[in-house]
Structure 1
Amino acid sequence: MIAALLQMTSGIDPQANARVIVDAVDEARAGGAAMLFTPEMAGLIDRDRTRAATAIVPEDQDRVLAAVRDAAARHGIWVHIGSLAVRRDDGRLANRGFVIDAGGDIRARYDKLHLFDVDLPTGESWRESASYAAGEGAVAVDTPLGRVGLSICYDLRFPGLYSALSDAGATILAVPAAFTVPTGRAHWETLLRARAIEAGAFVLAAAQVGTHQDGRVTYGHSLAIDPWGSVLRDMGEQAGLALVDIDPARVADVRARIPVLDHRRSIPEVAVVAS
């Protein structure tokens, strides 16, 4: 089976971003891909909250989502939109991923569980929770490639989520992202390879890259990693599409050699021995 990874430099115009994704759907299908994976915030990256607010709408009004659903149906391909900024029924925002099937129907939704509230040594400060509400549950969905466990960007630093997803039968872990450059250089590949090894699963991580219209700079290096932790594809620092072969038998082989899922135990309460 073939998976396609889209590395993007999303901007402040959702319609322009939608065109990039729709073109990628066409290219992915022409390359024989069964499923396309896009980065986090594929439909809009804009730090200007006033300007962005006019483009963030409920999902049933989202033009990017509608365009991708139509393209998926026309080309008969599954698409994982890593995430879109959408407005919830309660008026708050969600960083929400979507899995769309080959008929254009939404098969799964996932709202980012862990929000990026950090102060980096470079002086960059991010407060995702100032705009977005955190999700409340993990999601895995059956696709032509296998069962895919959903996550988004900062979730990568919380291995318990991926343990839960692999325990639920996920053989592929999707990690769409818009990593900053400092954290990307330091941690991106290391964390992704660790998640693959711990779960004995493929990791497909489509990323944002380069300098965006709002001035943000993202790390890129979309990665496909096999269950042994080997990097199958690193897309570097250029936007574009990559095709990756996914062999489901590889998961069974690795898990048979090192059966970490069988050996997992619930951790009892920690006994703290004071000095």
Structure 2
Amino acid sequence: MELVALQMTATDHWPTNQATIGRLLAQLPSQRPLLVLLPENAVVFGCRDAVLNNAETLNEGPIQAQFSQWAQEYGIWLVVGSMPTRIANSERFYASCLVYNEQGLQVSHYHKLHLFDVEVADAQGSYRESDTFAPGDELSLIDSPFGRLGLSICYDLRFPQLYSALREGGAEILLVPAAFTRVTGQAHWLPLLQARAIENQCYVVAAGLYGETGARQTWGHSVIIDPWGEIKACLPTGEGLVFSPVDSTQLAAIRRQMPVAQHARLSAVWRK
């Protein structure tokens, strides 16, 4: 069983991104089963008009049909890091992670919980995702041939309580599609990912955008990390694939030898 993170440079033009994804999927290794994670904003990366023009109702539309076709054609579990989906009676959208099984069925989805409204010392300067997107309000776990998958998106990575909840729900593989900025990525990307792997004793698969799109500079460094925090594969720059097998025996051994989930005493109260 192989885990794959796909790294790409995205634009505000879906046909261009579609061609890039198709070219990289054609380079997949032959072994199956295979789980492939695409980055955040793999469908469209740009202004509100680009989002508006490419948003679809969940489980409907030609973009989602393309992902379903790819999953079926290649016989893979395909996780779309995020794409904009419509919200009834709202001018905002969800940033939605979509999961397709090898038959091309959309078997799960997750709407990004934490929105990136921050100031960053880069060419973009100010980020206000909440101007365009609304936050989700549900966690998402899905059983798969690779183990139980816990879904998240980019800025979620800074909120360890989310991953603790996914671990409590049985997560074994944490998926982190992202478009981390170059500034924040250089400072925090790998340390945060390794921390989430170590503290939750899970595999972490993180697929990042790379390169420059307008003023946006993204960090790349797509990576797969094992439950001991060891980096199994990483692609610092450029477009391509990183992959690593899942070792369920190692995961079970780590959890058995150091049962941190059973040792947690979060019911303790503050002394008055």
TM-score, normalized by length of structure 2? 0.93
Q: Which residue of 2 aligns with 1:25?
A: 25
Name whichever of 182-191 and 67-76 sits farther off: 67-76
Aligned 8 A contact 2:222 2:242 in 1: no
SS for the counterpart of 1:9 is coil
Task: Write the distance in 1 (CA, Å) between the matches of 2:25 and 2:182.
Answer: 27
Cα distance in structure 2, aligned partners of 1:59 and 1:120? 32
Map Cα deviations across residues 95-136 of structure 1 (whole Å, 9 max, x no partner). Answer: 000110011111100000011111124471111111101000
Quote how far apart the aligned CAs of 1:137 are: 1.0
Cα-Cα RMSD: 1.7
Letter matched to residue 75 of structure 1 = Y
User: Alignment partner of 1:54: what SS?
Assistant: helix
Residue identity over aligned pairs, in percent, reads: 37
How far did residue 226 of structure 1 move? 0.5
1: CA distance, partners of 2:128 / 2:20: 28
Distance 2:150 2:8 in 1: 22
Q: Which runs of 4+ in 1 moved over 4 A?
A: none
2:13–2:50 contact (8 Å) kept in structure 1: no
Farther-moved stretch of structure 1 (243-252 vs 184-193): 243-252
Correspondence for 1:75: 74
Structure 1 122/208 Cα, relative in aligned 2: closer, same or farther at 3 Å? closer
2:201 counterpart of 1:200: yes
Shift of 1:28: 2.2
Alpha-carbon shift at residue 147 of structure 1 (Å): 0.6
C-alpha distance in 1, partners of 2:173/2:159? 17
Show the 5 A alignment for 1:1-275.
Answer: 1-28=1-28, 30=30, 32=32, 34-46=34-46, 48-91=47-90, 92-122=92-122, 124-212=125-213, 214-271=214-271
> In the aligned structure 1, how far is the partner of 2:29 from the partner of 2:264?
38
SS of residue matched to 2:178:
coil
1:60 is displaced (CA, Å) by 4.3
* Distance in 2, Cα, partners of 1:270 & 1:154: 29
> 2: distance between equivalents of 1:43 and 1:271?
50
- Partner amino acid, structure 2, of 1:179: F
Shift of 1:38: 0.6
Distance across 1 between alignment mates of 2:267 and 2:58:
39
C-alpha distance 153-15 of structure 1, shift in aligned 2 (>3 A): same
Q: What runs of 5+ residues in structure 2 fail to find an aligned partner?
A: none
Report deviation, 1:218: 0.2
Separation in 1, partners of 2:183, 2:108: 32
Deviation at 1:144, TM superposition (A): 1.5
What SS does structure 2 have at the residue aligned with 1:211? strand
How many residues in Structure 1 have an aligned counterpart in Structure 2?
A: 270
Query: 1:29: how far off?
Result: 5.3
Shift of the alpha carbon at 1:271? 4.5
User: 1 CA distance for matches of 2:109 and 2:36?
Assistant: 16
Unaligned runs of 5+ in 1: none
Q: Distance in 2 between matches of 1:27 and 1:126?
A: 34
> Match for 2:174: what amino acid?
L
